[in-house]
Chain A
Amino acid sequence: NAGVMQNPRHLVRRRGQEARLRCSPMKGHSHVYWYRQLPEEGLKFMVYLQKENIIDESGMPKERFSAEFPKEGPSILRIQQVVRGDSAAYFCASSPSRDSEAFFGQGTRLTVV
């Protein structure tokens, strides 16, 4: 049973470009969470999704950021018109239910140049 798969592991974007981060949850997991970790800081919750639904997006910046978890395929975190401050590690976690242990992927390290 493969773990939570995130890709790409490293992503470099120029200011103004779009970044797409993908997360495939563990088999049987329908709950996905995205977190962001800025350098030297803890992880900050961004968004919680179930298949086709956004349950809680209270941690998402109001502009430029969006997330989806379609019926088929991975969850996508999309950042439009990236700025240097978006440079961070983005981690995805998945769980089989809303109150069970979540497992983290290896993260995508986004660098905006």
Chain B
Amino acid sequence: QKEVEQNSGPLSVPEGAIASLNCTYSDRGSQSFFWYRQYSGKSPELIMSIYSNGDKEDGRFTAQLNKASQYVSLLIRDSQPSDSATYLCALIPSGGYNKLIFGAGTRLAVHP
């Protein structure tokens, strides 16, 4: 089992819709979770971090964490064509320092 699993997509949503991106992980000791956005040919850009169970909202983005189910999700409301990118789920494994383990990413395509 991979440490961090994501559906590779592409996930295609119409402009203005809600995009829902999902991620599961295997290390129960993980405490820190992140969503990065990566445009083609560019570096990853941190968009959300979440550390405790529940929802965390920042503008159009909401991250959800369920440690019991080992599940992290990212919701993007009012999706825009500029949101089209690959979204990488990442975590810091139990061990205590900032060594990120990434999923393979989900490609999101928002069409006008």
- Do the beta carbons of B100 and A45 come within 8 Å of each other? yes
Q: A33-B98, A43-B88 are in contact. List 14 more A-B contacts (CB 8 A).
A: A35-B102, A41-B104, A42-B4, A42-B6, A42-B102, A43-B90, A45-B101, A55-B97, A91-B44, A98-B97, A99-B92, A104-B45, A107-B42, A107-B43
A106 with B42, Cβ < 8 A, contacts A55-B97, A95-B98 known: yes
Distance, CA A33 to CA B44, complexed state (A): 14
The residue in B4, B96, B99, B104 that gathers the most chain A C-beta atoms within 10 A of its C-beta is: B99
- Do the beta carbons of B99 and A48 come within 8 Å of each other? yes
Is B49 in the interface zone, CB < 8 Å from A?
A: yes
Which residues in B have their C-beta under 8 angstroms from that of A98?
Answer: 96-98
- Taken residue by residue from 84 to 112, chain B's Cβ proximity to chain A (1 for < 8 Å, 0 otherwise) reads as 00001010100011111111110000000
Is A100 in the interface zone, CB < 8 Å from B?
A: yes
Which residues in A have their C-beta under 8 angstroms from that of B101?
Answer: 45
Is B46 in the interface zone, CB < 8 Å from A?
A: yes
- Do the beta carbons of A42 and B103 come within 8 Å of each other? yes
Is A88 in the interface zone, CB < 8 Å from B?
A: no
- Do the beta carbons of A33 and B99 come within 8 Å of each other? yes
- Taken residue by residue from 23 to 54, chain B's Cβ proximity to chain A (1 for < 8 Å, 0 otherwise) reads as 00000000000000000001111100100000
* 15-59 of chain A: CB within 8 A of chain B: 31, 33, 35, 41-45, 48, 55-56
- Do the beta carbons of B43 and A33 come within 8 Å of each other? no
**Sampled A-B contacts (28; CB under 8 Å):** A31-B98, A33-B100, A41-B104, A42-B4, A42-B6, A42-B88, A42-B104, A42-B105, A43-B90, A43-B100, A45-B100, A48-B99, A91-B43, A91-B44, A93-B100, A95-B98, A98-B96, A98-B97, A98-B98, A99-B92, A99-B96, A99-B98, A102-B100, A103-B46, A104-B45, A105-B43, A106-B43, A107-B43
